[in-house]
Structure 1
Amino acid sequence: MNSRPASRAEQRRRTESRILAAARRQFAEVGYETTTIRAIAAEAETDPGLVMRYFGSKGELFARVAGVQPDDEVTGAPEEAAEQLLTALELKLGEQPIDALAAIRSMFAHPDAAGEVRSAMISRQRQAARHLADDNADLRAGLIGALTIGVVIGRHLLELDGLRDAAPEDITTLLRQAFHDIAHGTPDPPRPDPATRAR
């Protein structure tokens, strides 16, 4: 058994890891405004001054833990992209995406959080759009992104009946046709204006 004492660098990494885990949970549960450095330090079993020394400020710590973590890049043809986006959603439904929830919960009260969420989603959508049907690709990606974040909020934050307790695969099964229709379906032609048709 290796009983050598941890080096100073190892001790710092462990302390930083505890701080990040505590901050992630605090921001997700009570939001940016209510979370304090003192509460994070207490949960991480360290000193508030050390939190500030390692991360600078509450805002910088928030930016570190509360960004929407990037999913795997979307690849392949639109049909494959739709399945990859469904898989990414299913993973988010399987266990609470703490980083994303921290950002979402805080974005309504803290402008920096809104910027973090928007920036992450725009980057994700632009990358996904390159693998969706060419016509209205940006709109297609935006709609799938809106569906994804809406379902995640409905399940984990609002805990909507049915959605809260459903198996993730049951949710994605019901959404599969919609994702494929949006990702690569051919839009119906515009409906004629009734006033024009009556002439």
Structure 2
Amino acid sequence: MRRSSEETKAVILAAARDRFAESGYQAATIRAIAADARIDPSMVMRYFGSKDQLFAAAAEFDLEFPDLSDVPRADLGAALVEAFLQRWTRDDGLIVLMRSATTNEEAAERMRGIFAQQLLPAIAHLQPNDAGRCAGLIGTQMLGMALCRFVLRIPPVVAMTNEELVHWLGPTLQRYVDGA
């Protein structure tokens, strides 16, 4: 069965996300991604040009940060944890970046871009006096949790429900938002 060019591109991108999430940038190869997509490696190059360009497409990640203006101030920490958990469980985009950011400067730059362009402006509305520090601390908690849960798969963290994570991490994020 023949696929349209858009379908082929989507299949390649899905295979790349899975492979980059599983192996990281360095270990993922065009041949492996092509095999996962059940296509010839030349098709990957045709649609994406290079491994770097394929990675750039696979590593696109929008936090889809929710509007928290209606959330009572005392509940912002819990709402932030919930928002991050809901977003990260929808796709592997962040895991692709996390696995690769320590060994690939482009991935690290994308993580910094997410911080500067998406998280920092959203946090500035919640904590205008010290948005950079607050966003940085929120990033440490959420990235640490994501690393332990989704990448390293530390059993006690994986076993926790989202509600348990909100219970444990929400108060910490609340302290950052409150500036205490």
TM > 0.5: yes
Structure 2 vs 1, CA of residues 76 and 69 (structure 1 numbering), >3 Å: closer, same or farther?
A: same
Identity %: 32
What is the aligned partner in structure 2 of residue 172 from structure 1? 166
Could you say which structure has the greater relative contact order, defined with CA pairs below 8 angstroms and 6 or more residues apart? 2
Q: Any conservation in 1 of the 2:25–2:104 contact (CA below 8 Å)?
A: yes
- Cα offsets for 1:142-199 (capped at 9, x unmatched): 11121111110011122224212111111111222222221125x3xxxxxxxxxxxx
Query: Structure 1: how far apart are the matches of 2:127 and 2:65?
Result: 20
Q: Identify which of 85, 97, 112 aligns with 2:80.
A: 85
Q: Any conservation in 2 of the 1:41–1:47 contact (CA below 8 Å)?
A: yes
Q: CA RMSD in A?
A: 2.3
Shift of 1:123: 1.6
Query: Structure 2: how far apart are the matches of 1:36 and 1:134?
Result: 44
Secondary structure in structure 2 of the residue aligned to 1:162 = helix
Instruction: Structure 1: state its 5+ residue gaps.
Output: 188-199
- Cα offsets for 1:104-127 (capped at 9, x unmatched): 111122111111111112222222
Query: Structure 1: how far apart are the matches of 2:67 and 2:81?
Result: 11
Residue 23 (str. 1) matches residue 16 (str. 2): yes
Secondary structure in structure 1 of the residue aligned to 2:159 = coil
Shift of 1:139: 1.0
Q: Identify which of 112, 117, 121 aligns with 1:123.
A: 117
* Greater C-alpha Rg: 1
Which aligned segments of 4 or more residues in structure 1 are displaced greater than 3 angstroms?
Answer: 80-84
What is the aligned partner in structure 1 of residue 140 from structure 2? 146
Q: Any conservation in 2 of the 1:96–1:156 contact (CA below 8 Å)?
A: no
The count of corresponding residues between Structure 1 and Structure 2 is 178
- Cα offsets for 1:66-111 (capped at 9, x unmatched): 2333223444177265444222223256x37411111111112211
Shift of 1:47: 1.6
| TM-score, structure 1 normalization | 0.79
| TM-score, structure 2 normalization | 0.87
